[in-house]
Every structure is written in structure tokens, then in C-alpha cells.
Chains A and B, each alone.
Chain A
Amino acid sequence: MSYSTILAGVAILAVIAFVGGLVRARGHAAGPVKMHSQLGYYGWYAAVLAALPAAILITVWAASEPAVLSRLVARELPATVDTLNAAQHSLAMGQIQSISEGLPKLGAADLAIIKKARLGFTPVEEAQRVLKEHGIVLGSPPPPYVINAAADLTENRAISRYLLAAIAGLLAIGGLFYGVRSIRPRLRARNAVEKVMLGGLAAASTVAILTTVGIVFSVLFETIHFFQGVSPSNFFFGTVWDPRFSAAGSADTIGQFGLLPLLWGTLFISFVALAVAVPIGLMSAIYMSEYASQGVRDVAKPALEILAGIPTIVYGFFALITFGPLLRDVGAMVGLEIAATSVLTAGIVMGVMIIPFVSSLSDDIISAVPQSLREGSYGLGATQSETIKRVVIPAALPGIVGAILLAASRAIGETMIVVLAAGIAANLTLNPFEPVTTITVKIVSQLTGDLEFDSPQTLVAFALGLTLFVITLALNVYALYIVRTYREEYE
């Protein structure tokens, strides 16, 4: 019995409870005592009592079942399994898992073959073939003890599901009856239902927060793992990036994981991007908020914001196919040697990408400067541009700085454009016409190599990711702090 069947059963009981609660409440409503809540709340009250405990049980059950079952299986395994090394052990456990998931799909004839193989009457290769026909591909023929354990696992799982169905069903039915029977006119159904809703909202935000915490910790642990193999000074202060993919595995060459060239590439490209985006974004924000007529604004603002909706991979394409070669050719014409993938290509295209971040936020902030300040300035005989230069922009400056910082953190974390347009060579250079690479690019290339997951060559991606996370987090926090301080000023 699958979880979805059990959940569907609970849902049906909840619907019954809802209807039952409603009917009972309607009966009371005809009576002399005024109902505390509107009738619908009584229905929800009964439905929640029926569904919520069962749903919680199912969630907890689903979370703990795999661990319990595999513990049970492990107990039954022959002693020889303990002598296997870690890789072989996890292979065996993986086989058990996939066979046990496949067994329920087999027909009677195939099951018989498996059973024979399990007892040693049929060669295990035969079992492997049968399983393969049903979509379960095993790397090697399963030894009999594996088939054995898989069969046990299947059986235990079925028992576990029946047990769950029974308990959840009882809980739901119990809740249903309790809920419907406890409905009286003075029952504060509305308050109870709202409490449950509040709980639901809180749970949703907890999920978001816990996910963030979980991500941070998983990255953190892998990073610590990485630093057990590579010294932090090699990573943080190293000026050479040479992870030596080819030498991976040999003990004495761990490669050099210098962060600095990547960090420099990231900052250099972001700097170019900001140099493009800040003037253009700011000027368009000023135009939009101070000069443009309503008609122009209605058209131009959404048009600008479309830029923010273009997927970054499309920008990357544009940089790679169109803009990079164009820049190279133009450079060649004036005698400059510009690589097709270069700091300049990636920076300019990324700058275009973040223009809407700067302009849209700055526009909001400039529009938030009170009209009374502008009038104060006009009243002293200032022109519109003097007013903008001397009053509006200075008043909006903290917010604008915040907008720029947010755009900067966007640029630093950007991946697709730089993967395609900046190059992959780690390069500590001041020349914007040369290719460099960034932290994000290296994360991609380290993780997409086919190396073992616990080699430093792969683990370094986590250290890089954490570094990036810390940088952008710090920028975001600082930006929000600035924006918020500014916001308070005019309230």
C-alpha cells in the first residue's frame, strides 16, 4: 500500500468529517442558543481533527521508515558483509534497495525465478536478467544473500504500510467522531481553526528557514572536510589555481587551490558590470522618476524590467555568439587584442543584465523622496535639475547605494554568463581584454568532473561556494541595513 493511497483515505475521512460537522452545526443553528462561529468553521473544525493527527503521523512515519527498515535488513545480513570495504558495502546495500523496489512489479513466473535464485537453484545471472527486463539494472549479478535481504525488505515494507494505514485510519476515524460530536453552539470553532491556520503559516516559514540552515550546514561540513585535506592558507592566500585533475588520486600531489585568482576574476568582472550598470541604471531611474511623463513611464518601465526577466543563459549565449566576437573584431580594427571570452565581454553583458536591478530599485527610492522637499527647493528658485542634483539625489543616496550593493551581489553570484563568456582559465591579470575565470565557473567545472566525490578536487567546490555565500550574504545584509536606515528617515 503506497503513501498516496493512505493519504487519499485520510482525505476522504476529512471530507466526511467536514460534511458531518456542517450538518451537525446546522442542526444546532436551528436551536435557541446563538452559534459562536459561522457554520463553515464547524465543518473545518471536524475536518482538521480528522486529518491533522493522521497527517502528522504519516509524515513522521515516512521520514523514519527507510532508516528503520534498513536497520532491520542489516541485522539479517551474513557476517561476511562486515568484512567488505566501504565502497563494496554501499554497493551491496544499493542493490538490496533497488531489488526490493523492483520485486512488487514482477509477475508470478518471474518471482518464481527470483525465489529459485535466492535458494541457489538457478544461477544468479538469471535473476539479474529477469530484473533487467523490468527496468532494474544491476551492475553485477546479485549474490543470494542480497536477494534474500531484498525479499525481506519488501515484506517488511508491506507490513509497515499496512500498520501505518491501520493506525492512521483509526486516528482519523477517532478524530472524525470526536470532532463531530464535540460540536456545540458555544464551541469556539473559529478560534480553533484560526489557530491551526496560524500553525500552518508558521510551519511554512520554518520550512524555508530550516532549508536555508540545512544548505548552509551541508556546505559547511563539506568545506570542513575539504580543509582536512588542504590547508586553509593554501586556499585563501594561494595565487595559483591548479587542482590537477589528472593527478587526482595519487597521494603526494593534491594540487593547488588558490582562491585569489578566482576571487579576483569575480571582482574584476563585477566591477566592469557595475561600471556599466550603475551610470545607465541611475540615469534611467532619474529620467523615469523625475522627467518622464506618465505615458512614457507606463511603457518604458515594464520594458526595462523585461531585461530582468531574460534567463541568464540567454545573456550567456548572446555574449558568446554575438557580443564577444563583435568586441574582438572591433578591437582588432583599432589595434587592440581582445579575446572573444574576456573580462570585458562578460562584464558588459552582465552589466546589461543588472541594469534593471539598479534602475528599478533606485526609481522606487527616488520616487519615495517626499514631494515637499522638491517643492521646498523649487520655492527657493532652483531649477529642476538643480533640485535633482542637490536635494533629491543626496536624499536618496543611501537607498541608491543599497540598490547598487544588491546589484553587486547579484553580479558576484552570477554563473551562466561567466561560464559562457569569461573563460575558464584562472588568471590573475589587470588586463580586461584577457579571459579570467570566476568562483562560480570553477564550482561548476569542479562538480561536473567525473571524480570521486570526496576528493579535494570536488570538495573545493563547497569551500568556494561557502566563500561566495559569505561574500554575497555580507553584501546583502549591508545593503538591507542601508536601505532600512534610509527608509526610517521620512516616516
Chain B
Amino acid sequence: MEHQVVHREAIGAEPLQPATIIARNVNVFYGAKQALFNVDVDVPRNAITAFIGPSGCGKSTFLRCLNRMNDTIPICKVTGKIMLDGQDIYDPDLDVVELRARVGMVFQKPNPFPKSIYENIAYGPRIHGLTRTKKELDELVEQCLEKAGLLKEVHDRMHEPGTGLSGGQQQRLCIARAIATRPDVILMDEPCSALDPIATAKVEELMDELKENYTIIIVTHSMQQAARVSQRTAFFHLGKLVEVGDTRQIFTNPRDKRTQDYITGRFG
């Protein structure tokens, strides 16, 4: 923790809790091609951090480092250090499966399992043995659907396939599925890119609620969304972390010219 990035709080911002994720000197290679260069970032607990930047700049790549999803890509190599609550997540002794249970993920494209809505959400709790009885599981499923704002729409079709829902409902199903495993951190990769404004508003509302108990990182292409929901924003460009800071500061008073150009729409 010796070189923790100092938070430069803008005036009027709520004070942030200490960092739960600390990344230092992260480099990622896809084969010979380097996708991320020396990324240093701190992610505060119980807040929403937004990753923004032009397409192909490495936002998803970095996000996938945080739950080691990049392990599934054979050519991908990660160097540097990423700590979650003081524990190095690339430590060879660490159990990846356990890590992923702690760091949930919602993907850019909704990917419900071809099972019933109920089974989709019960999947994680079943694997991790989070509930003891059928009744507990039922309750948990309902709770998660309720939190994801989906319960009203699906309470009478819990046992119909999750793939039969609309795109926005599927995305909220995936969010419900992610929170059902009770993670500490939730990673969301452009969760609203396929959603209409109403569904987007619902998801944003949900994120706002969730941040009371979870640490959330969201990748988004929408400046407005980043400005609306996040407390901290990190701007990536060409594989480098250009600037990270309080959201209000980034959007009103960016330090870097590239950040300024991007948020005012001059490139990207």
C-alpha cells in the first residue's frame, strides 16, 4: 500500500472509503500484442467506479483481469500486481474459483443460461451451497429478482426459460444472477449497451442501491451514464490509464488534454 494513489477529492464530493482493489503496474499481452501498459488504479469500497475510453482501449481487458477471466484466453498474459482487500489475486496459491465467487461479473451481452429463470439465479447459490433448504433458496431467488427490479415482471413465469426474456430483462436477470452469489465486488461491462432508456434507468437505479453493500465497477461508453452513476471515473486511452479521479472533477475539470477531448466528444 506504500504508493497508494492519493484521492484528489473535489469540493462537495462525499468522502470515499478506502480502496478495496489496488492495481499496480498491470501489463496485459494478447500473444505479442500489448493491450494494457502499466495501469495503476485504486477502486474504493462501496462506490461506483466508471471506466471510460474509446473502443479498443483496453477497458474490458482490465475489467477481466480483476476476476481473472482472462485466464480462459490461452494467449493472454497478465503481469503486475492486483490486490483485493490486501490479497494478491494473481498469487499462484489463490483459488480462482473462490475469487470469482467474490468478484461477480455482468457481461456486455446478456448471457442467461438456457435454463429457467429460477434455475439461472439458483445456479450460483447451489454451487456454493449458500442455502440449506428449498425454502431458503426460493427466498433468495425472489430477493435477488426483487433487487434487480425484475420480480414483478417474472414472478408468474419463474420456471420458463430465461432465454425467453427480452434483452433488457435478460440483462437484469444476469445482474440478479450475479448478486445471488453474494459477491463483494460486481464488475459490469457495458451492462446497458443493449438497453432502452427505461431499462437503462432501472439498471442505474439498481446500481445506486447496490453500492450500499457492494463495490461496483462499470464500463460504459455513455458519458452521461458515467457522470450520473459513478463516484470515480478512470479514463483509458490506447491501453494506458490516462487519468483517474473523482467523477465530478474528471467531467468538469480534467487534468489531461486527452480526457478533455474525449469527454467533449472531440475524439473516440
A→B interface (CB under 8 Å) = 294, 370-383, 386, 390-391, 394-395, 489
- Which one, A371, A380, A390, contacts B178 given CB within 8 A? A380
Chain B residues, Cβ within 8 Å of A375: 69, 72, 105, 107, 111
Residues of B159-210 contacting chain A, CB below 8 A: 163, 174, 177-178, 181
Contact across chains for B107 and A381 when beta carbons are under 8 A apart: no
- Which one, A294, A382, A395, contacts B127 given CB within 8 A? A382
- Which one, B105, B112, B114, B163, contacts A379 given CB within 8 A? B105
Task: Report the minimal beta-carbon distance from B135 to chain A, rounded to whole angstroms.
Answer: 22
User: In this complex, what residue of B is CB-closest to A398?
Assistant: B114
Chain B residues, Cβ within 8 Å of A390: 123, 127
- Which one, B97, B107, B177, contacts A372 given CB within 8 A? B107
Contact across chains for B127 and A386 when beta carbons are under 8 A apart: yes
Tell me, yes or no, whether B220 is within 8 Å of chain A by CB.
no
Chain B residues, Cβ within 8 Å of A374: 72
Besides A380-B177, A381-B101, A394-B113, 6 new A-B residue pairs in contact (Cβ under 8 A), listed by A number: A372-B111, A375-B107, A376-B113, A380-B104, A382-B123, A391-B113
Contact across chains for A372 and B105 when beta carbons are under 8 A apart: no
Task: Report the minimal beta-carbon distance from A204 to chain B, rounded to whole angstroms.
Answer: 40
Contact across chains for B100 and A381 when beta carbons are under 8 A apart: yes
A-B CB pair tally, cutoff 8 Å: 68
Contact across chains for B115 and A381 when beta carbons are under 8 A apart: no
Task: Report the minimal beta-carbon distance from A434 to chain B, rounded to whole angstroms.
Answer: 44
Complex: how many Å from CA A375 to CA B181? Answer: 15
Tell me, yes or no, whether B81 is within 8 Å of chain A by CB.
no
Complex: how many Å from CA A372 to CA B113? Answer: 10
Provide the main secondary structure of the chain A interface. Answer: helix
* Mask: chain B, 198-235; 1 = CB below 8 Å from A; 0 = not: 00000000000000000000000000000000000000
Contact across chains for A381 and B111 when beta carbons are under 8 A apart: no
- Which one, A376, A386, A391, contacts B107 given CB within 8 A? A376
Task: Report the minimal beta-carbon distance from B163 to chain A, rounded to whole angstroms.
Answer: 7
Contact across chains for A379 and B113 when beta carbons are under 8 A apart: no
Tell me, yes or no, whether B147 is within 8 Å of chain A by CB.
no
Complex: how many Å from CA A322 to CA B99? Answer: 54
Chain A residues, Cβ within 8 Å of B112: 376
Complex: how many Å from CA A269 to CA B113? Answer: 37
Q: Which 8 A/B pairs are nearest by Cβ-Cβ distance?
A: A381-B101, A379-B105, A372-B111, A380-B124, A381-B100, A376-B111, A395-B114, A382-B127
Chain B residues, Cβ within 8 Å of A294: 74
Contact across chains for B163 and A489 when beta carbons are under 8 A apart: yes
Task: Report the minimal beta-carbon distance from B253 to chain A, rounded to whole angstroms.
Answer: 36
Residues of B87-112 contacting chain A, CB below 8 A: 97-102, 104-105, 107, 109, 111-112
How many residues on B have C-beta within 8 angstroms of the other chain's C-beta atoms? 28
Q: A379, A382, A386, A394 — which one has the most chain B CB atoms within 10 A of its CB?
A: A379
* Mask: chain B, 58-81; 1 = CB below 8 Å from A; 0 = not: 000000000101001010000000
User: In this complex, what residue of A is CB-closest to B102?
Assistant: A381
Chain B residues, Cβ within 8 Å of A386: 127
Complex: how many Å from CA A330 to CA B115? Answer: 47
A to B CB contacts below 8 Å, 13 in the list = A372-B107, A372-B109, A373-B111, A377-B113, A379-B178, A380-B101, A380-B178, A381-B97, A381-B98, A381-B127, A386-B127, A394-B113, A395-B114
Chain A residues, Cβ within 8 Å of B97: 381-383
Contact across chains for A381 and B181 when beta carbons are under 8 A apart: yes
Complex: how many Å from CA A439 to CA B102? Answer: 60
Complex: how many Å from CA A377 to CA B115? Answer: 13
Task: Report the minimal beta-carbon distance from A292 to chain B, rounded to whole angstroms.
Answer: 12
Tell me, yes or no, whether B266 is within 8 Å of chain A by CB.
no
Complex: how many Å from CA A300 to CA B156? Answer: 48
User: In this complex, what residue of A is CB-closest to B109?
Assistant: A372
User: In this complex, what residue of B is CB-closest to A392?
Assistant: B113
Task: Report the minimal beta-carbon distance from B72 to chain A, rounded to whole angstroms.
Answer: 7
Contact across chains for B105 and A373 when beta carbons are under 8 A apart: no
Also in contact, A379 and B127, with CB within 8 A (given A372-B107, A391-B113, A395-B113): no
Complex: how many Å from CA A222 to CA B149? Answer: 68
Complex: how many Å from CA A372 to CA B102? Answer: 19
Also in contact, A379 and B128, with CB within 8 A (given A374-B72, A395-B114): no
Chain A residues, Cβ within 8 Å of B74: 294
Task: Report the minimal beta-carbon distance from B75 to chain A, rounded to whole angstroms.
Answer: 11
- Which one, B69, B114, B115, contacts A378 given CB within 8 A? B69
Contact across chains for A380 and B127 when beta carbons are under 8 A apart: yes
Contact across chains for A381 and B128 when beta carbons are under 8 A apart: yes
Complex: how many Å from CA A141 to CA B114? Answer: 79
Chain A residues, Cβ within 8 Å of B174: 376
Contact across chains for B123 and A377 when beta carbons are under 8 A apart: yes
Contact across chains for B69 and A373 when beta carbons are under 8 A apart: no
Task: Report the minimal beta-carbon distance from A446 to chain B, rounded to whole angstroms.
Answer: 48
Complex: how many Å from CA A381 to CA B114? Answer: 18
User: In this complex, what residue of B is CB-closest to A395?
Assistant: B114
Complex: how many Å from CA A357 to CA B4? Answer: 58
Contact across chains for B124 and A381 when beta carbons are under 8 A apart: yes
Chain B residues, Cβ within 8 Å of A370: 111
Chain B residues, Cβ within 8 Å of A395: 113-114
Complex: how many Å from CA A375 to CA B104? Answer: 11
Complex: how many Å from CA A390 to CA B114? Answer: 10
- Which one, A372, A378, A391, contacts B100 given CB within 8 A? A378
Task: Report the minimal beta-carbon distance from A401 to chain B, rounded to whole angstroms.
Answer: 15
Chain B residues, Cβ within 8 Å of A383: 97
User: In this complex, what residue of A is CB-closest to B115?
Assistant: A394
Complex: how many Å from CA A377 to CA B181? Answer: 11
Complex: how many Å from CA A373 to CA B181? Answer: 17
Chain A residues, Cβ within 8 Å of B181: 380-381
User: In this complex, what residue of B is CB-closest to A380?
Assistant: B124
Q: A373, A374, A375, A376 — which one has the most chain B CB atoms within 10 A of its CB?
A: A376
Complex: how many Å from CA A378 to CA B127? Answer: 11
Task: Report the minimal beta-carbon distance from A387 to chain B, rounded to whole angstroms.
Answer: 9
Task: Report the minimal beta-carbon distance from A462 to chain B, rounded to whole angstroms.
Answer: 45
Also in contact, A379 and B67, with CB within 8 A (given A394-B115, A489-B114): yes
